[in-house]
Structure formats: C-alpha cells, structure tokens
Structure 1
Amino acid sequence: MRNPDNNILALPILKKKAGERGVAGKEGIGKSRLEALSDGIFAFAMTLLVISLTVPLVPDWEAPALLPGMIADMFPEFLIFSIAFFIIAGYWLAHHRILRSIDFVDDRLIWINLLLLFFIVLIPFTTSISGDYNAVLEAVLLFHINLLCASIALTLIWLYIRNQYANLTNDTEPERRRIQFDTAGRVRALAIPAITIVAIFVSFINPAVSMWCYLFIPILMVAGRKAAQLGRSHD
C-alpha cells in the first residue's frame, strides 16, 4: 500500500516542530539548501556586475593625458553599475527577510524562487548592455524590464508565503514568526516595481535620464519607514 506521506509533489511550506504536520498535512523540505543556492547566485550576480566597467587600453605614454577623460566618460556605466548593485543587494535583503519567517519550503516555492534567480542572473547582462548603449531605448528598456520581472518574482514569493501563513491558526505559529504587511513592508515590496514602471515610461522620452529614476527608491524606503512609525505612534 502506498504511503501518502511519500508524495513529494505536495510538500508543505511550513511545520511547527519536527514530526508535526504542516499546512498541507505532510512534512516540508528544509530551506537551508534553497537559501544557500540563492545566496550564491546573488553574490555571483553582484560580482559579475563589475565586468561591465572596462577602460580602453591606451599606450603608457598617452595614459596620463587620456585616462582622466576616459574615466570621466565612464560615469553613465558606473551609475548603472551602482544602481544594479544596490538593487540586487535590496533584492537579497528582501529575500532574506521573507525566508527567515519560514522553516520549510515546498516545490511551488522552490520554482518561484528559481524564477527570481533566473532574472537575478540576467541583471549583469542587461546592465552591461544598458551601460554601453545608455542612450538607446531598446538597451535601457531591457534593463528596466529585467528589474521589473525580478520584482514581480520576489513579490510572488512574498505573497505565496503570506497566503500559506494565512492558513495557520494563531496557536500554530507564534506571532513573532508571522509575516506582517505593515506600511514599511508594503513600501519595500512596491518601491522597486513602481519606480521601474516609471522608468520605463521615462525611457521613451529620454533613455539616459530614466536611469536616474532609481535614485528615488531610498527616498520611498525612508518615507515608508516614517509612515509606519507614525502609524504606530497613533495606535
């Protein structure tokens, strides 16, 4: 007779303690391997970004005269590199905050996570293209759409885990382990996709200027945190 607990296609996302049953009634897979894979890919993508910063070779005797100008001309590439680096760092931090709220993952969450990692791996490629051709609409759009897709994938992970938690009763998971969609959390989740959509529209007017839109992300983060603090003080 087949043991239903051997069905690996219906693993739960959570369980309370070892040996207890989770949301779907079966034990889940530990999240450590998923975190290790994700951390490695995030780190690798952040490291690959620097490859897009290359200075043309010039003869040694011409370097003192030409090098300062060439480095100054690299400012657009450096700007896009910086934006991509800190956005990937933001994705990693958000990913860490989401996964620390759970102990176990299921197949669906693994595949959604792999979708996120697919778009993260593409960021160095689209960063390099948009850095080399920052005035070309198609090149810049590729970068914006890449970030938008990564943001959507990360949001799907967040929503999937939140919905799994919604199926749990208060005595199943401690309050401190729950994912709270407070004001700051909502702003963090929506800041990058919202700014990316704005940047896409701006790129049709001026592709190079559209990159500056991402500088508003820290402002939105601070505003969200202040709004959350204000809301708590009124409660």
Structure 2
Amino acid sequence: MIRSPRSASLSTRRIEAFTDGVFAIAATLLVLDLTDHSLGEVDSEAQMWAALGDMSNLFFNFALSFVLLCLLWRVHVQQFEHVQRVDTTVIWLNNARLLFIVLVPFATNLTTEYSEFVAGRLAMPVSFFLAILCSGLQWEWMARHADVMLPEMTTADVVAFGRASRSALIISAVVVAPAPWVGSWAFLPVPPRRRLHSGTAPQGRLIRGGCRRGECRRGDQYSLGTASTHSAPRVLTRRR
C-alpha cells in the first residue's frame, strides 16, 4: 500500500545515494562511444589528426551529454538539500527520471551514429526532455506536500523552484522542436543556466562553509552576507 504524503516517513539518504550512483554510471558510460571507435589505419601524424577530426561529432555529443548530465545532477542536489522526508510517489518519480538518465549513453550513441535518420537526431533531446519532465513532476508533488517534505522552505522559495522547473521543461521542449532537422545542435542556442536553473536558496539556510539550522557549535560567530532584494536571499557565513 502506498503511504499518503502526510505519513511520509522515509529519509532521503538512500534515494540520494542511489541517484548519485546512477548519474555517475550514466556519465561514465558515455566514454564507451569514444573507446569503441576505431581510428582505422594510421601511418602518419597527418592521418592521426585527420582520424581524430573525423570524430568531431562524436566528441561534441559526448561533451554535450556529459555537461547536461552534470547540470541535471546539480539540480537534483540543490533540490534535495531542502527535502526532509519522501514518500513512495517521490521515489517512483525519481526512478522514472533515472530511467531516462541511464538511457542517455544509448541515446547519445544513436544521435551520433544515426544522425541521418529523424529517430537518431531526436534520441538525445527527447531523453533529456523526459528526464526533466519527471524531475519537474517530482518537485510539483513535493511542493504540494511542502509542510511534510519541505518544512524549512518558505512558500515563496517553493514557488520559485517550481517556476524554474516549468521553465526548464518549456525550454527543453523548444530544444526538441528543431531536433528532427538539426539533432543535438538544437541545444546550443539555449544557455545552460537558464535551461536547468533550479531556483534560489531558501532564506534562513546556510551555504557551504557555514552550518545548518540547529547544528551550529557554541561559540561560532556568523555574519550576514550582503545581497540585494532582487538577488538570492541572504545567507550566513562563518567567520574564521
């Protein structure tokens, strides 16, 4: 039986470790396209450079997929910094996202090796679109039950994260639209930070180098960092 969000009693430790592992494996498998590619017969420096030049499209798709995976993982890390508890629905939405993450090496290979076909050119953009879709659905579910799953976030911060997730989904859909004609090159006009931006940090939480609420040691001194009203909320930093 699936527990209701109100009785969400699972910590995020296992889901974070599992997700980190899947992202790491998917990013590592991308290199197989490079190692499995044969340079052919090489008898001179000129032939060596020419053979490497012929791999330019392969190198491009490898680097692009690796960077996009890193950005998606970064969004996951930022979101789960604020998640306290999860339920079965969150777990399965996360599993759905990881399903498309592990398909990225295969999709990258299709886009590289079969770029003359529409299905090949669509493989990469569609895989990332579906992964972003699942990530957005997961956040929307947690936002609906923020009192249990995101108790330390303000309503404004939850809304900001949700707005950023929807923007990322829309932009990834825009990338898919021209993909039947240009393939993975459709990613290039989209700035990565806007495509996968995950919102600002919530007020009252500490960034790296500080401490979390309720975990500060006695005697530590903190000061408020400066920030404008239109930028990320102010955070506490520790004085050394």
- Per the shorter chain, which TM-score range? 0.7 to 0.9
List structure 1 runs of 4+ shifted beyond 2 angstroms: 57-60, 133-136, 172-182, 185-201, 212-215, 217-225
Q: 22, 40, 47: which one pairs with 1:58? A: 40
Distance 2:153 2:133 in 1: 27
C-alpha spacing 1:126/1:36, structure 2 compared with 1 (3 Å): same
Distance 1:102 1:199 in 2: 30
Distance 2:196 2:19 in 1: 27
Distance 2:190 2:145 in 1: 32
Q: How many equivalent residue pairs?
A: 203
Alpha carbons 2:111, 2:124 under 8 Å: kept: yes
Give the structure with the higher percent helix: 1
RMSD (Å), alpha carbons: 3.2
Q: 52, 62, 67: which one pairs with 1:71? A: 52
| TM-aligned CA deviation for residue 64 of structure 1 | 2.3
Tell me the equivalent position of 2:2.
Answer: 9
Matched, 1:200 2:181: no
Distance 1:222 1:120 in 2: 15
C-alpha spacing 1:147/1:221, structure 2 compared with 1 (3 Å): closer
Distance 1:107 1:10 in 2: 7
Distance 2:77 2:197 in 1: 22
| TM-aligned CA deviation for residue 213 of structure 1 | 2.9
Alpha carbons 1:127, 1:143 under 8 Å: kept: yes
Alpha carbons 1:162, 1:179 under 8 Å: kept: no
Tell me the equivalent position of 2:210.
Answer: none
Q: 22, 27, 32: which one pairs with 1:46? A: 27
Alpha carbons 1:30, 1:105 under 8 Å: kept: yes
Could you tell me which amino acid in structure 1 is paired with residue 230 of structure 2?
R
| TM-aligned CA deviation for residue 177 of structure 1 | 9.7
C-alpha spacing 1:202/1:158, structure 2 compared with 1 (3 Å): same
Unaligned runs of 5+ in 1: 1-7, 13-23
C-alpha spacing 1:201/1:178, structure 2 compared with 1 (3 Å): closer
Q: Write out aligned runs for 1:24-173 (5 A).
A: 24=6, 26=7, 28-54=9-35, 55-59=37-41, 62-165=43-146, 167=147, 173=151
| TM-aligned CA deviation for residue 88 of structure 1 | 0.8
**SS in structure 1 opposite 2:190?**
helix
Deviation per CA, 1:144-168, whole angstroms, max 9, x where unpaired?
Answer: 1111110100101111111111x56
Tell me the equivalent position of 2:230.
Answer: 232
C-alpha spacing 1:224/1:38, structure 2 compared with 1 (3 Å): closer
**SS in structure 2 opposite 1:232?**
coil
| TM-aligned CA deviation for residue 130 of structure 1 | 0.5
Alpha carbons 1:49, 1:124 under 8 Å: kept: yes
C-alpha spacing 1:176/1:142, structure 2 compared with 1 (3 Å): same
Unaligned runs of 5+ in 2: 200-226, 232-240
Alpha carbons 1:11, 1:105 under 8 Å: kept: no
Alpha carbons 1:135, 1:207 under 8 Å: kept: no
| TM-aligned CA deviation for residue 140 of structure 1 | 1.2
Q: Percent identity?
A: 23
Alpha carbons 2:65, 2:104 under 8 Å: kept: yes
Distance 1:116 1:27 in 2: 20
TM-score, L = length of structure 2: 0.72
Distance 2:190 2:136 in 1: 20
**SS in structure 2 opposite 1:140?**
helix
TM-score, L = length of structure 1: 0.73
Distance 1:99 1:222 in 2: 15
